[in-house]
Structure 1
Amino acid sequence: MFLHLASYWVIGWIADWYFSLLGKGTSEESLRKDLENVAIIKSSKDTRYGLDSIVTHDGAKLPCWALSDLSSFKQKFGVDAYEQLDVIGIDEAQFFDDLYDFCREAADHDGKTVIVAGLDGNFLRRSFGSVLDIIPLADSITKLTARCEICGKNALFTLRKTQDTQVELIGGVDVYMPVCRQHYVNGQVAVKTARNVVESNKVECGSHT
């Protein structure tokens, strides 16, 4: 029926998309009453706000299903209950390997409105998970940007502030910050320099033992 893809720099705001995309002038109170026809799914990898809820940008909570894969959703939700659903929201879509197949089945064959929110790229500016794979399926796509925390310009990229190198590292403002192109490049240089200093100190300390 309908598949909307929202890519953005920070994880966690499918609930905001629920209110903004489905509202169309309807009050938040009315939207909440319609939640029985809406199911929201997030990755079980993110436990920052608990496993049974996601948090909107203004701090409001909505119930959700925390899953490791999307293929198990219909069975866990219940086949009869699934048939009654109008809308399925998927948050943190980059963490689901079966994203493409689930979205295609839900939208094309089950007649569901599917709203997908996730990161299209990681902190290295490389594709993240299967988010880009579902672009050909989408009726509409919205690319959101934040404000660069350094200069206030549009922030197109995510800068990781820690020295961790693994691709999947769940965190909020303590780990990531939105930045413009200039400050992403400058920040990467700074992070690389810091890592080199740390490694150099390790080698130097080892030579004295």
Structure 2
Amino acid sequence: MFAGKTTALINRVSAHEGRLAVAVKSSKDERYGCHWVVTHDGRCMRCYTADSLAQFKELLGPAYHKLQVLAIDEAQFFPDLAEFCNRAVDDDGKHVIVAGLSGDFRRRRFGQLLDLMPLADSITQLTSKCAFCSSNGLFSLRLVDAAGPQALVGGDEKYRAACRRCYLQHSDTVQ
């Protein structure tokens, strides 16, 4: 978390200026309203929201076939991510840009992002700064409801980026 994933997503979509691009995010992410992908520093891009990527494609209808670039934010929340992306690229000729978390606050697999790795043309793994010591923040430390469900949408009020040492040190006090 806090690694600049959404910023990178917006930058990559901007690099495709002149091509028809659309963004989608999970309907679970209601932090900035349902029609905006927003970075932590306030940059934004209009988007669609959906529970699944199949629902998103259905929502677009015939306009989907005109799309050239598809940006998917908060990808870990889409249950059909891997299959949809594979078909969108291989069968439909779309350029797909995906941003999301591969691991959760328990350091376990989160969604299907890791399933995309063998299918991807390129992969960029971003890291944040540890909120405690400023080393590479590789892990998400949940500050609230540590015994709760895997999916809990939130920002710095609920999570902190942590290096391995600080994650191990602070996860005992939080949980």
Compute the TM-score of the two structures, normalised by the length of structure 2: 0.91
Question: Structure 2 vs 1, CA of residues 10 and 119 (structure 1 numbering), >3 Å: closer, same or farther?
Answer: farther
Task: Report matched runs for 1:44-59 at 5 Å.
Answer: 44-59=27-42
Aligned to 1:39: 22
Q: Secondary structure at the match of 2:171?
A: helix
Please tell me whether residue 148 in structure 1 is matched to residue 125 in structure 2: no
Q: 1:16 aligns with which of 1, 5, 8?
A: 8
Q: 1:170 to 1:12 in 2, by over 3 A?
A: farther
8 Å contact from structure 2 (residues 13, 71) kept in 1: no
Structure 1 contact 15–62 (Cα < 8 Å) conserved: no
- What CA deviation, in whole Å up to 9, does each residue of 1:170-205 have, x standing for no partner? 11000000011100000112123xxxxxxxxxxxxx
Cα distance between partner residues in 2 of 1:141 and 1:158: 20
Amino acid at match of 1:56: T
Distance 1:89 1:12 in 2: 15
Determine if contact 1:90/1:116 at 8 Å carries over to the other structure. Answer: yes
Aligned to 1:178: 161
- Residue 169 of structure 1 is matched in structure 2 by 152
Percent identity of equivalent pairs? 44
Q: Where does residue 56 of structure 2 map in the other structure?
A: 73
Q: Larger radius of gyration, structure 1 or 2?
A: 1
SS of 1:78's equivalent in the other structure is helix
Asked if the contact 2:4/2:126 (under 8 Å) is kept, the reply is: no
Amino acid at match of 1:129: G
Taking the TM superposition and a 5 Å limit, the aligned residue runs for 1:82-161 are 82-161=64-143
The Cα of 1:10 is off from its aligned counterpart by 4.4
Q: Using CA pairs below 8 Å that are at least 6 residues apart, which structure has the higher relative contact order?
A: 1
Deviation, structure 1 residue 60: 2.1
1 or 2, which has the higher helix percentage? 1
- Give the aligned CA root-mean-square deviation in angstroms: 2.0
Q: One-letter code of the match for 1:95?
A: F
> How many pairs were matched up?
174
Point out where structure 1 has 5 or more consecutive residues left out of the alignment: 1-8, 193-209
Gaps of 5+ in 2: none
CA distance in 2, matches of 1:23, 1:53: 15
Q: CA deviation at 1:12?
A: 8.2
